[in-house]
């Protein structure tokens, strides 16, 4: 009887302790719930295979709509690469503005762009994650890998619940949503959307004074371009009395692809939708193909080889640097080239003597085409699993997609980085305070250039009162935009697919680059073409195209 009493008493004590522990745990959970929701997309699905259901169980400190986002300040650790013109994020008025509007403070961890790739890998390997990556530059492979293993938060439900501006951007630009959606159906990172037409395409320039001197018009076909280039070479087109110093076409033809001569201009004229002359996938009528073994590519090689042989194409294009090319252009001896702006390449003294001429036709294609990108920089910002405030963070990013937020992200706060010239007319200009030589210098301290995911509004950006911008806008509107066709999209592959395609891609790219130089320099294209095509096919390009076709079809579904 005493033994039973002692055991019963012990059991009672244990029960009391269990109840007390249960109460303590409940209180602890209640305290946690005051800081974050009970289940969010960050914590509810660490495998990242499916988007978790949102509980919409909000915290007292969090506002689902309106600003500030939080009533009491919270701090997010942000991490990323500094832009080439941005010295630091600390003290940057962009982040001060974001704190003022949202109530969110920032602890910053930044790295030079040159060191970011290696540092990024180390951060993920260590699992010591920030709350938010910005200026992240995550590849599709990295996004899928780190999202799939739970280090990046699934954003689908967060966007649906708390991000109306991101939803609107994705509705308006389906390519931005499709390119941001991993193969598992989840969105792990957000993009920058900038669809200003002047920024979507390559710009090809030809000297109008040279044209006047030789008595010709701006060419409209590849044959007319050839005739113009011959005249540039033979008729002292620059009028300096030296008939042998003109270089009709210059640029670069190499693997860096910074300025690729007129390669894509020729390919577009032949009916190939690409903005590069190198190895690339293309699509026609929904079917993916490797353009580098098509008849149109053969004609491109023959055209470029003829220009090279006749020294109409600068024979240094395979070896010169961008700096060397610019130096030639600034000497006033280059008649035709591709660059962001002629006045940047040639200098302002002669840069405005050029006009764009971006859309040509040919014997193979009577349709004018200008290959245009989607205007999306993918995987700029991503919330991590370390983030205790995913709802507040997605609302912060959603503010960056708002009209006001996008202006602050791109040019800084109103009356700090820019000011209205005529608000009713939508015109404005940048502010260059004393102590700064250019607006770009000042912009580097009022915004993290291209650092935060955002949606830059075309109407606002086109309103800048800047003669150069207005000039480029006019050129694009006349010579390019009417003929825009979207280039092949950026696709997201699984690791298994990359294991198959990447080695083949690498081999084919190397071979195509090598043969392109050989074909253009040496000719003999008709004689060696069949053997070249057979080699590419033997390397396995058909298997790559089969996989790419499947992924492309899924991408098209995600666009709907």
pLDDT in tens, 262-291: 999 999 999 999 988 777 888 888 999 999
Tell me if 345 sits within 8 A of 329, measured CB to CB. Answer: yes
CATH number of 74-197+376-461: 3.40.190.10
Residue 10's H or E segment, with its range, is helix 2-33
Order across the sheet with 204-207: list the strands.
Answer: 247-249, 334-338, 204-207, 354-356
Average pLDDT over residues 314-337: 94
Residue-level pLDDT at 339? 93
Q: What is the pLDDT of residue 92?
A: 87
pLDDT surpassing 90 at residue 163? yes
Decide if 126 contacts 96 (C-beta within 8 A): no
pLDDT digits (tens, 9 = 90+) for 44-82: 333 333 333 433 444 678 999 999 999 999 999 999 998
CA gap 109, 128 in Å, rounded: 12
Percent over 70 (pLDDT), the chain: 88
List alpha helices for 127-196, DSSP H: 140-148, 156-162, 164-172, 174-180
Structure tokens at 97: 């503005």
Helix (H) or strand (E) holding 406: helix 403-411
- Return the pLDDT at 259: 64
User: In this predicted structure, what is the pLDDT of residue 276?
Assistant: 83
Average pLDDT, the chain: 87
- Residue 84: per-residue pLDDT: 65
Radius of gyration of the chain (CA): 29
Strand boundaries in 273-332, DSSP class E: 281-284, 287-290
CATH of 204-373+475-486, one of 3.30.70.360, 3.40.190.10, 3.60.20.10, 2.102.10.10: 3.40.190.10
Task: Map 107-120 to HEC letters.
Answer: EEEEEEHHHHHHHH
Q: Is the pLDDT of residue 331 over 90?
A: yes
Lowest model confidence (mean pLDDT) among 103-112, 134-143, 278-287 = 278-287
Tell me the per-residue pLDDT of 320-329, one tens digit each, with 9 for 90 and over. 988 999 999 9
**pLDDT at res. 17:** 36
Residue 258 pLDDT: 54
pLDDT confidence tier of residue 147, bands split at 50, 70 and 90: very high
Q: How far is CA 59 from CA 32, 38, 358, 379, in A?
A: 10, 9, 55, 29
Q: Read off the pLDDT of each residue in 98-115 and give the average, rounded to a whole number.
A: 94
Q: H or E segment at 331?
A: none
**What are the sequence ranges of the domains in the chain?**
74-197+376-461, 204-373+475-486, 495-558
If you average pLDDT over residues 364-370, what whole number do you get? 97
- Candidates 58, 90, 84, 86; CA nearest to 71 is 58
CA dihedral for 494, 497, 503, 509, sign (positive or negative): negative
CA distances from 402 to 102, 168, 397, 406, 457 (A): 13, 10, 9, 6, 9
Between these two residues, 402 and 59, which has the higher pLDDT value? 402
**Residues 508 and 279 sit within 8 Å (Cβ to Cβ):** yes
């Amino acid at each position: 009887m005493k033994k039973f009493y002692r055991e019963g008493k012990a059991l009672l004590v244990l029960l009391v302790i269990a109840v007390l522990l249960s109460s303590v745990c409940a209180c602890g959970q209640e305290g946690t719930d005051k800081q974050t929701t009970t289940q969010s997309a960050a914590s509810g699905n660490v495998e990242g295979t499916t988007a978790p259901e949102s509980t919409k169980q909000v915290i007292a400190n969090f506002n689902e709509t309106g600003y500030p986002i939080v009533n009491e300040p919270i701090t997010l650790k942000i991490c990323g690469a500094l832009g080439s013109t941005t010295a630091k994020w600390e003290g940057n008025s962009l982040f001060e503005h974001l704190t003022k509007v949202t109530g969110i403070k920032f602890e910053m961890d930044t790295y030079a762009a040159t060191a970011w790739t290696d540092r990024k890998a180390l951060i993920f390997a260590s699992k010591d994650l920030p709350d938010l990556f910005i200026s992240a530059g995550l590849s599709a492979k990295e996004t899928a890998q780190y999202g799939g293993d739970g280090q990046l938060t699934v954003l689908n439900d967060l966007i649906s619940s708390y991000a109306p501006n991101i939803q609107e951007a994705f509705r308006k630009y389906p390519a931005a949503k499709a390119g941001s959606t991993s193969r598992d159906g989840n969105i792990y990172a957000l993009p920058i959307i900038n669809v200003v037409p002047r920024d979507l395409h390559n710009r090809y320039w030809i000297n109008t004074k040279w044209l006047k001197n030789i008595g010709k018009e701006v060419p409209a076909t590849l044959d007319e371009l050839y005739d113009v280039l011959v005249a540039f070479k033979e008729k002292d087109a620059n009028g300096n009395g030296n008939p042998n110093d003109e270089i009709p076409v210059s640029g670069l033809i190499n693997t860096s692809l910074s300025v690729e001569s007129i390669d894509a201009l020729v390919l577009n004229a032949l009916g190939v939708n690409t903005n590069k002359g190198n190895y690339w996938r293309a699509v026609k009528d929904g079917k993916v193909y490797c353009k580098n073994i098509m008849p149109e590519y053969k004609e491109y090689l023959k055209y470029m080889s003829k220009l090279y042989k006749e020294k109409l194409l600068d024979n240094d294009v395979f070896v010169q640097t961008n700096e060397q090319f610019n130096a030639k252009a600034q000497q006033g001896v280059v008649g035709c080239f591709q660059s962001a702006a002629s006045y940047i390449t040639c200098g302002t003294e002669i840069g405005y003597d050029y006009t764009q001429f971006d859309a040509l036709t040919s014997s193979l294609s009577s349709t004018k085409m200008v290959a245009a990108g989607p205007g999306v920089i993918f995987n700029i910002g991503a919330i991590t699993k370390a983030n205790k405030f995913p709802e507040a963070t997605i609302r912060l990013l959603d503010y960056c997609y708002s009209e006001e937020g996008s202006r602050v992200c791109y040019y800084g706060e109103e009356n700090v980085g820019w000011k209205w010239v005529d608000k009713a007319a939508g015109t404005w200009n940048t502010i260059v305070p004393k102590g700064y030589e250019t607006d770009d210098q000042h912009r580097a301290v009022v915004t993290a250039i291209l650092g935060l995911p955002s949606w830059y509004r075309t109407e606002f950006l086109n309103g800048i009162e800047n003669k150069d911008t207005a000039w480029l806008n006019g050129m694009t509107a006349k010579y390019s935009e009417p003929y825009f066709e979207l280039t092949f999209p950026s696709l997201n592959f699984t690791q298994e697919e990359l294991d198959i395609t990447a080695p083949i891609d690498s081999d084919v790219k190397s071979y195509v680059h090598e043969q392109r130089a050989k074909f253009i320099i040496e000719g003999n294209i008709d004689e060696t073409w069949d053997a070249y095509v057979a080699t590419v096919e033997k390397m396995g390009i058909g298997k790559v195209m089969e996989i790419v076709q499947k992924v492309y079809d899924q991408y098209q579904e995600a666009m709907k």
